[in-house]
A = this chain, B = another copy of it.
Amino acid sequence: MTAAETRDARLAELAELAELVEGRDWPGLRARLARLPVQDVAALMPDLTREQRVPLFRLLPRRRSAEVFSYLGPEQQDELIADLTNEETRRLLGHLPPDDRTALLQELPAEVTRRLLGLLSPAALRQARELLGYPPESVGRLMTPDYIAVQPQWTVARALKAIRAGARRGEPANVIYVVDAQGRLLGAVDLRRFILASPHTAVRRLVGGSPVQLSAFEDREAAVRAIQHYDLAAVPVVDSEGVLLGIVTVDDVMDVAEAEATEDFHKMGTVGALKGGVREASPWLLYRSRVSWLVLLVFANLLTGLGIAYYEATIEAVIALVFFMPLIVASGGNAGAQASTLMVRAIATGEARPQDLAHLLAKETAVSAALGVTMGLAIWGVGAIQGGTEIGIAVALSMVCVVVVGSLFGMVLPFLLHRLRLDPAAASAPLVTSIADILGVLIYLAIATAILDLPPA
């Protein structure tokens, strides 16, 4: 079954499930659900009504229902928790892995979180408080303390016994960590190395050093980078003494990478944080995520108007100049948006580093000058026809200057923000465009005033 067929099958599945729920055919529904992967059950939930969702969820076996719950979006989880009894919620929380429990508790409103913390077992409560004690978007918020650790003096046979016990408890077992008696991380061993080794070998002889270990306080981006760079199945997290605290697995990291890319993508379009996605977001949340930048840019654009007002005499003398204004001004903004797009992404993926700035600036100057000349030539004919040769020269020359200035500004701004420890993605296309607009108007009208020999402002 290809991915496209999977999608079509899902729609059919949904209709069937809804029908079974509507007809209250519980045995039929249970049989149907048992054949579906938990991720698919979770993916179907948003398309069911709240009344259909709860009985369906209750029909799932306990461990499976916890897995389905882990794959739901925060809004869905919130709704479902509100519809479950305290006893059901307690059981659900007991079956959630610790990292999913942290994810749930940090997303919910404070009063719900308090209620849920009250339902946890003392051990789970201690663990949850510890994990929630790490900063938001930190490695600690992603990690699970469920991992399999063995000691270096153990034989492979004894280690395999520990691995079996761990795998039965549902702990991820593709990477086994080796720790000393004090719990300090010594290294990591792939599960397959245990299978290849003779049962009497000491674990010590299999250990390869772990290429990287993280602190729980680092930004979660560090976990993404480490797993991606070293192609790991999981990355270990240690405290300042080197004691193993937990691990972050590749599947969590893929979700984080997607969330971070979405966040940067939105920032480039001056849209703020939208947890849970645009489809589920309320109009009020969407409004809040967009309004501040738009109003800020209104005032930036008023400056452009002031620039025009300053050159009122020039414009009144040669009204034809107004026709070309949107063109010149937008071109600088567009070239600037391109340059900032390239830099914001290159900084985010770690491709562009501060020491590359000089080299990149030199290259950008050459590239943007060539772009400006191309665009100037493209409108040269049109400019000459509409308002005479002098206007043509003014327009073409302005084009080159505006494109170079806009591009260099768009390139430097993300680096500057990065240097100031601000988010480079705040150098959004609309911000760069707005500032390039102001510069563009001033450059254009100054050049036109000079070339057309008009009285200065």
A265 within 8 A of B: yes
CB pair A226–B290 under 8 Å, yes or no, is no
Q: Which among B278, B297, B308, B375 is the interface contact of A334 at CB below 8 angstroms?
A: B297
Binds B, one of A75-83, A117-125, A312-320: A312-320
Q: Compute how far the CA of A293 lies from the CA of B331 in the bound complex, rounded to whole angstroms.
A: 10
Q: Smallest CB-CB separation from A222: which chain B residue?
A: B3
Enumerate A28-84 residues with CB–CB distance to B below 8 Å.
Answer: 37, 39-40, 43
Give residues of chain A (240-294) contacting chain B, Cβ–Cβ below 8 Å. Answer: 250-251, 253-255, 257-258, 261-262, 264-266, 268-271, 274, 277-279, 283, 286-287, 290-291, 293-294
Identical subunits present: 2
Query: A323 in the interface, Cβ–Cβ < 8 Å?
Result: yes
User: A168: nearest residue on chain B (CB-CB)?
Assistant: B196
Measured between alpha carbons, how far is A33 from B264 in the docked complex, in Å? 36
Is the beta-carbon distance between B330 and A258 smaller than 8 angstroms? no
Residues of B within 8 A of A228 (CB): 251, 254-255, 258
* B contact residues around A279 at 8 Å (CB): 346, 351-352, 356, 359-360
Bound CA–CA A173/B265 (angstroms)? 36
* Closest-CB distance, A258 to chain B (whole angstroms): 6
A162 to chain B, nearest CB (A): 11
Q: Which residue of B lies closest to A297 (CB)?
A: B334
Interface string of A310-344 (1 = CB under 8 A from B): 00100110010011111101110111011011111
Residue in B closest to A272 when the chains form the complex, CB atoms = B338
Return A148 CB to nearest CB of chain B, in Å: 10
- A433 in the interface, Cβ–Cβ < 8 Å? yes
The one of B43, B211, B341, B371 in contact with A265, judged by C-beta atoms closer than 8 angstroms, is: B341
Q: List 21 A-B contacts (CB under 8 A).
A: A2-B222, A3-B212, A163-B192, A227-B254, A228-B251, A265-B265, A265-B341, A270-B337, A271-B338, A278-B346, A279-B360, A283-B363, A283-B366, A283-B370, A290-B335, A293-B338, A298-B379, A305-B326, A308-B326, A309-B323, A316-B319
Among A104-112, A229-237, A415-423, the stretch that binds chain B is A229-237
Q: Are B225 and A294 in contact (CB under 8 A)?
A: no
- Check A294–B375 contact: CB distance below 8 A: yes
Interface status of A429 (Cβ within 8 A of chain B): yes
- Tell me the smallest distance from the CB of A406 to a CB of chain B, in Å: 11
Tell yes or no: A430 within 8 A of B by CB.
yes
Partner of A434, one of B195, B325, B330, B344: B330
Are A349 and B258 touching (Cβ within 8 A)?
yes
Contact partner of A174 among B43, B174, B230, CB < 8 A?
B174
How long is the Cα–Cα vector from A438 to B248 in the complex, in angstroms? 50
Complex CA distance for A370 and B291, rounded to whole angstroms: 9
How far is B37's CA from A269's CA once the two chains are assembled, in angstroms?
Answer: 38
Question: Quick check: B367 and A290 within 8 Å, CB to CB?
Answer: yes
Interface residues on A, range: 35 or more
Q: Are A43 and B334 in contact (CB under 8 A)?
A: no
User: Assuming A228-B251, A277-B349, A290-B338, what are 10 further A-B pairs, CB within 8 angstroms?
Assistant: A228-B255, A268-B429, A269-B337, A279-B352, A283-B370, A297-B334, A305-B322, A308-B323, A326-B329, A430-B433
Bound form: Cα–Cα A327–B291 in Å = 15
CA distance A379 to B298 in the complex (A): 8
Nearest-neighbour CB distance to chain B for A454, whole angstroms, equals 15
Contact call A338/B211, Cβ cutoff below 8 A: no
Question: Any chain B CB within 8 A of the CB of A437?
Answer: yes
> Quick check: B230 and A233 within 8 Å, CB to CB?
no
Q: Does A374 contact B (CB under 8 A)?
A: yes
Q: A174-B174, A342-B271, A437-B330 are in contact. Are A215 and B265 (CB under 8 A)?
A: no
Residue in contact with A345 in the complex, picked from B231, B265, B349, B430, CB distance below 8 Å: B265
